[in-house]
């Protein structure tokens, strides 16, 4: 979260593994698209972003299920 | 502007390619949110946690019902400011519990303002602001 005007990243999230992070909140570094922190609550990943001085962080909530997707197996 | 699909090892351990972009939600504070572009969604749907993080008061929001593949739930419809590609606009957003699904960019709040062209075969998509609209900024 930032109080100054953000520079929104245009990068895709790198190495996204929703199975690994299911149900969690992620911090994504704006400069690289890398996942730099994860936690169960948004407040906690926001604090992580501040503590790690992540520039232009973006946040992503990983769904806890994939029932919204059509899957073919 | 051109974007790449996000390669995603999904919960079912199958590789997917998702059109995720980062947009800015603006309230008393700003927060950047990776959301799924979903032309099947009539509106933008965001986790209510983001409203709290951005300092957006939902006490005067309109109570709505959200129906989806995972059932029915209550949501709070509120007009808020959003920013993407340097453009700001007033968007209807439904804030609700999003634990089982992605945050979504849908028809009224996103496709009304941006031209989106998907080229899945290249794992690319492009987005440009709709020129004819009156933006909050220019």
pTM of the predicted model as reported, rounded to 2 decimal places: 0.90
Does residue A48 belong to any structural domain of this protein? yes
What is the per-residue pLDDT across B94-127, written as a single tens digit (0 to 9) for each?
998 877 788 999 998 999 999 999 999 999 999 9
Q: How confident is the model at residue A20 (pLDDT cuts 50, 70, 90)?
A: very high
Residue A72 has pLDDT above 90, yes or no: no
**CA–CA gap between residue A9 and residue B47 (Å, rounded):** 20
**CA–CA gap between residue B86 and residue B128 (Å, rounded):** 11
Across the interface, do B3 and A12 touch by the CB < 8 Å criterion? yes
B100 interaction partners in chain A (CB closer than 8 Å): 63-65, 67-68
Does residue A69 belong to any structural domain of this protein? no
Residue A69 has pLDDT above 90, yes or no: no
B20 interaction partners in chain A (CB closer than 8 Å): 12-13, 60
Q: How confident is the model at residue A66 (pLDDT cuts 50, 70, 90)?
A: confident
**Portion of chain A with pLDDT greater than 70, in percent:** 78
The secondary structure of B53-112 as a DSSP string is: HHT---TTSEEEEEEETTEEEEEEEEEEEEEETTEEEEEEEEEE--TTS--EE-IIIIIT
Residue A8, SS3 per DSSP = coil
Tell me which residue range forms the domain holding A54. 25-61
From 3.40.50.300, 2.60.40.1180, 2.40.70.10, 2.60.40.420, which CATH number describes the B2-128 domain?
A: 2.40.70.10
How many domains, chain A?
Answer: 1
Q: How many CB atoms lie within 10 A of CB B118?
A: 14
Does residue A2 belong to any structural domain of this protein? no
Residue B113, SS3 per DSSP = coil
Tokens at A53, concatenated: 């001085």
Output B120 or A1, whichever has higher pLDDT: B120
Q: What is the pLDDT of residue A8?
A: 65
Backbone angles phi, psi at B38, to 5 degrees: -135, 100
Residue B122, SS3 per DSSP = helix
Name the residue among B9, B23, B34 with its Cβ closest to that of A17: B9
Q: What is the pLDDT of residue A65?
A: 78
Q: How many CB atoms lie within 10 A of CB B116?
A: 16
Tokens at B25, concatenated: 């939600």
Q: What is the pLDDT of residue A2?
A: 46
**Portion of chain B with pLDDT greater than 90, in percent:** 72
Across the interface, do B9 and A64 touch by the CB < 8 Å criterion? no
Q: How confident is the model at residue B9 (pLDDT cuts 50, 70, 90)?
A: confident
Yes or no: say if B56 and B78 are a contact pair by the CB < 8 Å rule.
yes
Does residue A53 belong to any structural domain of this protein? yes
């Amino acid at each position: 979260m930032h109080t100054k005007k953000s520079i929104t990243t245009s990068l895709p999230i790198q190495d996204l593994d929703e199975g690994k992070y299911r149900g969690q909140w992620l911090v994504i570094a704006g400069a690289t698209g890398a996942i730099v922190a994860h936690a169960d609550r948004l407040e906690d990943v926001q604090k992580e972003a501040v503590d790690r001085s992540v520039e232009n962080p973006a946040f992503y909530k990983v769904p806890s299920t994939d029932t919204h997707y059509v899957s073919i197996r | 502007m051109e974007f790449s699909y996000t390669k995603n090892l999904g919960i079912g351990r199958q590789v997917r390619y998702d059109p995720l972009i980062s947009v800015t939600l603006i309230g008393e504070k700003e927060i950047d949110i990776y959301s799924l572009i979903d032309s099947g969604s009539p509106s933008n749907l965001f986790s209510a946690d983001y409203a709290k993080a951005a300092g957006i008061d939902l006490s005067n929001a309109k109570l709505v019902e959200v129906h989806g593949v995972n059932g029915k739930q209550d949501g709070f419809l509120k007009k808020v400011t959003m920013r993407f590609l340097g453009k700001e606009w007033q968007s209807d957003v439904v804030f609700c519990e999003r634990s089982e699904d992605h945050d979504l960019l849908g028809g009224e709040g996103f496709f009304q303002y941006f031209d989106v062209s998907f080229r899945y075969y290249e794992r690319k998509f492009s987005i440009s602001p709709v020129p004819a609209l009156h933006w909050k900024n220019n």
